[in-house]
Amino acid sequence: MKIWLGILAAYVILALGSAILTPGPVLLQDGMENLAPGGAAILGTDPLGRSVLELVVRGARLALLVGILGGGLAVLLGTLFGLAAGWWRGPVDSAALWFSGAVAAIPGILLVLTLGFMLGGGLAALLLGIGMASWVGVFRLVRAEVRRMRNESHVLAARALGAGSVHILHRHLLPRVLPLVLVQFTLHFVFAVKAEVLLSFLGVGVSGAASWGGMIADSWAFNDLGHGRWWRLTAATLAMAGLVLAVQRVADDLRDRLETERRALG
């Protein structure tokens, strides 16, 4: 797990370093167009003379931002709805189940695309679309856990002592579901990154921001592979694959540790 955490740390350091050291747009360099990887440009340049390395790093900045905020919004919505539905049940549970079923009936990427078009694109629309499209899985897991734990002895004791619902949810139930929520966040982070890349490829991502999806789309538009210019497409693809793989491996390890702890307690 340390290796994959190290890879994630490298992505974060490069993204933050890029945001601090080069906050402006990627520079266009006359006479540097379509250079192959080498001493003048480590990962080569694109047809506009922009450094592919710099584009990849800036794409990582956007991917991390969307992954954290978009995945975090989905997990937040799912956790709040799941806590409420699992605890209060009745009309609250029925309404939450109906709403979650309606959302789950629409393919996630299609819902993200629809909301993106409706809201005119941009970062806020992208994050809202990702959050609204992917909270259902977290909701179902948290709801099931709360329904299972609501009749445990420590919860019943808190209710007997006069503790209110909000206090019980905050002090007794939420800490118990947090490990599960953390694993879900890593999985939704991956979904958010993939959604951002796809939307940018389709031209409805974050306008004006360097993106791996935008790099892939530009590579297709300029027929890079047809002209033997493989480096831009390869760099964007490998950068996305490395981030997604690292997060997935960390999620797998967290899930295994959670299952081990549950078996030990059970």
Domains of the chain: 2-18+51-265 (1.10.3720.10)
The most confident of 21-25, 177-181, 257-261, by mean pLDDT: 177-181
Q: So what's the pLDDT on residue 256?
A: 81
Q: Maximum distance among all alpha carbons in the chain?
A: 77
pLDDT digits (tens, 9 = 90+) for 190-220: 999 999 998 888 888 787 788 999 999 999 9
> How many helices (H) does the chain have, and how many strands (E)?
11, 0
Task: Indicate whether 266 pLDDT > 80.
Answer: no
Task: Indicate whether 138 pLDDT > 90.
Answer: yes
Q: So what's the pLDDT on residue 157?
A: 86
Cβ neighbours of residue 77 closer than 8 Å, sequence gap 6 or more: 131, 132, 135, 138, 139
pLDDT digits (tens, 9 = 90+) for 218-253: 999 988 888 898 999 999 999 999 999 999 998 888
Pairs from 102-107 (Cβ < 8 Å, separation ≥ 24): 103/132, 103/133, 103/135, 103/136, 104/136, 106/133
Task: Indicate whether 73 pLDDT > 90.
Answer: yes
Name the token pair of 85: 């539905």
Task: Indicate whether 31 pLDDT > 80.
Answer: no
Q: So what's the pLDDT on residue 10?
A: 93
Q: Mean pLDDT over all residues of the chain? A: 87
Q: So what's the pLDDT on residue 265?
A: 58
